[in-house]
Structure 1
Amino acid sequence: MSLLQSSNATPNGDQNTTNGSDRHPENLPEWFMAAIPVYILLISIFGIVLNVFILMVFCFHKKACTVAEIYLSNLAAADLFLVACLPFWAAYIIKDYDWPFNGPMCKLVSLSITTNTYCSIYFLVLISIDRFVALVHPLSNTRMRRPKFAKLGCLLVWVFDFLLSIPMLMYRKLKLDEGNNTLCSFEFPTETVYLLYEGTISLFIFIIPIFIIFFCTYKIVRGLNARLNSQKTEQKATTLVLAVLLAFLICWVPFHLVRIVELVLVLKPLAVRTAVDTCRMIFLYLGFFNSVLNPVLYVIVGKKFRKKAKELFSQWSPVTLRNDYTSSEVLRSMKTVEVSN
């Protein structure tokens, strides 16, 4: 199933439509459902604060970002947009899956969460390729590792993942359920469209990216073992990237694996589909935690990032600002004396 859909998509009688109700599986305990909004709100608060901090360091530091930092800053931006929209979904759950906002907000929130999740995956792909080129082919591809190409790559990722998320605008709608609740749910016209959409998303958002990431990571580890005493700067950056990749694999791979299993079992008995659906829902909320974990890893693992953060805040300290002001006044006075002479 797609992100933020927690029910079983099944053919609807003779009309052969695939309807998605976003109500949670009935076999989940009440305490679990009560804890989900609290969990989402905590992720949102910590994710917003930490990712804003990461972006401040990357954007306001006096030194220009490296290629790896351009990718990491875009990853932080995607995480920020994602966690900023989660409180709307928490409100939806608190109201027992009765959407409290209007139809356009249903589409917009779903689109933002989905797009930024997809972007996070492809920024990790770009990061993996960059580390692969830096360590395995450091001389032959130096022209490719330029900031302007990195920015272009990030722009293409944003556009590509927005295009993949267009079905959110087309098929995400409001509808009334049996209990007269207003659901923000998927409404596919046919089962074929549903299977085509899910198959495409699984291919482009999981299978292809994971293959690229695993291939690059394997080559990166081999490259690190072959260069234990050289390229220390690249090795430090690569250590951070490997930590971020590991966090992504832990947080998101279970969800995508269950998603593929659910796609295969879409026509299986209801009990089987409900069990798979429950696992998918749990792993989805685990995946959201990745947006909080990434900025924590920047601080814990990224020595260069910690250095940039210290330099940035030292720039903003009162003593530094006063010294800068004094220095500028001295320079102006010297220029005035030179002109008068």
Structure 2
Amino acid sequence: MATLVPANTSVLSGPNQSSIAPAAPSTPSMPLSHQIGIAILVIAFVFGFPGNLFVVWSVLCRVRRRSVTCLLILNLAVADALVLLSAPLFLRYLAGDRGWEFGSAVCKTVHYLCCVNMYASIYLICLMSLDRWLAVTKPFLSQRLRTKKRLLSFMLGIWVMAFLMALPMPFYRSVWPIRPGVPIYLCKPYHWDSDTHEIFQYLIETILGFLLPYTFILFCYISVICRLRSAMFHRKGRGNFLILLIIAAFTVFWLPYHLVNILQVIGVKQGSSSSVLSAAKVARPNVTAFAFLSSSVNPVLYVFAGSSHIRQAGLGFMAKLFEGTNSESGSTRSSRGSNAESSVFTKLSVKLSRKGDERRDEILGGEDETTADMHNRDEMKTLTTLH
């Protein structure tokens, strides 16, 4: 997945050097694409940055028992907050009428970090889905794997993998003058005039950043649904609801971007005069700007999911919501249980055996009491005879 923020730079620079460029000082009005880009950036930054910081604060300061889902949400929030810090740069890029003023190194670094964020986000969602799949289908294995040490190892692996996957991004992003001799520069995609490099970038980011992880996510949740239906029981858990919301949001904001990637690859194959290629280049700035909102939408989803806790918990409502995702709580209280789904029949048998033991004790107790009464009566008779 090549970029989230490139979307916004694309709003400025566009696919070509002259198609959508920052307005020259003599331009009387700002282009519509710039106005849309600015609106999206302002909304994303105003709601997303403080929202993600609030999520981080809630998890670190208010949540007492942090579940696997809770820790993964913390990582998502940190990644999104860091990406949204770049919004002021792009706002200046769009509204400053001076192009990219921050140099080639910043251009490459910002887009690289945004690409890292996108890879990290989708694979953190994959880890959430894997955790749910193991909890339902392999509960005892899930209990052995659900340790903080292993979880930290998995998350570290995801971040390392994201940094490695995003490495092509700095090589395919460069600063170029809007026109020869004009001191206004664009931070734009650059493929050395090679169709092979262009196809490689967009195809790799779509395969590694969407198709493969999304196929894995679908497999996990289809398996979970089938398992729950075949077992004829269902557990109400906020963890499942939260993860499904996150997956749905990621799909809504990123599917258009990857569809445009595929269209652009098809257009490059057809040739530079292809209408498909032209349509993809026209659509790219808008879909990439739209994808940028994915870094700000998750806190809004958490507010929606935790709205029932707001009156009772106040600012701690999100902590209450995240504590509700602690699916391990039932299993850590007793060594016999793992997850509710896997141990439901075991718990039923334990309850039945306990009731049987209690009933036997009552019967035995009753017999012992009857025997004691008989001995007491015999002793009373003996004493009466003696007297």
The reply to whether TM is greater than 0.5 is yes
Question: Aligned with 1:252: secondary structure?
Answer: helix
Query: What runs of 5+ residues in structure 2 fail to find an aligned partner?
Result: 23-29, 321-387
Query: What's the RMSD between the two structures over aligned residues?
Result: 3.0
Counterpart in the other structure of 2:76 = 75
Counterpart in the other structure of 2:138 = 137
Provide the C-alpha distance between the structure 2 equivalents of 1:305 and 1:112, rounded to a whole number of angstroms: 35
Provide the C-alpha distance between the structure 1 equivalents of 2:225 and 2:139, rounded to a whole number of angstroms: 15
- Which residue, out of 185, 202, 208, partners 1:204? 208
Specify whether residues 147 and 224 from structure 1 end up closer, same or farther in structure 2 by C-alpha distance, changes over 3 A only. Answer: farther
* Stretch moving more, 65-74 or 49-58: 65-74
Counterpart in the other structure of 2:20 = 24
Specify whether residues 127 and 25 from structure 1 end up closer, same or farther in structure 2 by C-alpha distance, changes over 3 A only. Answer: farther
Q: Greater relative contact order: 1 or 2 (C-alpha under 8 angstroms, separation 6 or more)?
A: 2
Give the CA deviation at 1:97: 6.9
Counterpart in the other structure of 2:251 = 249
Provide the C-alpha distance between the structure 2 equivalents of 1:205 and 1:165, rounded to a whole number of angstroms: 10
The TM-score normalised by the length of structure 2 is 0.69
Counterpart in the other structure of 2:218 = 214
Provide the C-alpha distance between the structure 1 equivalents of 2:272 and 2:317, rounded to a whole number of angstroms: 58
Specify whether residues 259 and 96 from structure 1 end up closer, same or farther in structure 2 by C-alpha distance, changes over 3 A only. Answer: farther
Q: Does 1:292 align with 2:288?
A: no
Question: Aligned with 1:115: secondary structure?
Answer: helix
What are the residue-to-residue correspondences of 1:1-341 with 2, within 5 Å?
A: 2-3=2-3, 4=6, 6=10, 21=17, 24=20, 30-61=31-62, 63-96=64-97, 98-178=99-179, 180=182, 181-189=184-192, 190-225=194-229, 231-232=235-236, 235-266=237-268, 267-302=271-306, 310=316
Question: Aligned with 1:184: secondary structure?
Answer: strand
Provide the C-alpha distance between the structure 1 equivalents of 2:260 and 2:17, rounded to a whole number of angstroms: 18
Count of equivalent residues = 300
Specify whether residues 308 and 248 from structure 1 end up closer, same or farther in structure 2 by C-alpha distance, changes over 3 A only. Answer: farther
Give the CA deviation at 1:105: 1.3
Q: Which amino acid aligns with 1:298?
A: Y
Q: Deviations over 1:236-268 (max 9, x none)?
A: 211111111111111111211221121121125
Give the CA deviation at 1:58: 0.8
Provide the C-alpha distance between the structure 1 equivalents of 2:166 and 2:294, rounded to a whole number of angstroms: 20
Query: What runs of 5+ residues in structure 1 fail to find an aligned partner?
Result: 10-19, 315-341
Give the CA deviation at 1:195: 2.3
Provide the C-alpha distance between the structure 1 equivalents of 2:315 and 2:70, rounded to a whole number of angstroms: 13
Q: Which amino acid aligns with 1:252?
A: W
Question: Aligned with 2:86: secondary structure?
Answer: helix
Provide the C-alpha distance between the structure 1 equivalents of 2:291 and 2:173, rounded to a whole number of angstroms: 21
Give the CA deviation at 1:273: 1.9
Counterpart in the other structure of 1:15 = none
- The percentage of aligned residue pairs carrying the same residue is 26
Counterpart in the other structure of 2:351 = none
Specify whether residues 168 and 137 from structure 1 end up closer, same or farther in structure 2 by C-alpha distance, changes over 3 A only. Answer: same
Contact preservation (8 Å) 1:70, 1:147: no
Q: Deviations over 1:30-62 (max 9, x none)?
A: 334323213212211211110000000111135
Question: Aligned with 1:42: secondary structure?
Answer: helix
The TM-score normalised by the length of structure 1 is 0.78
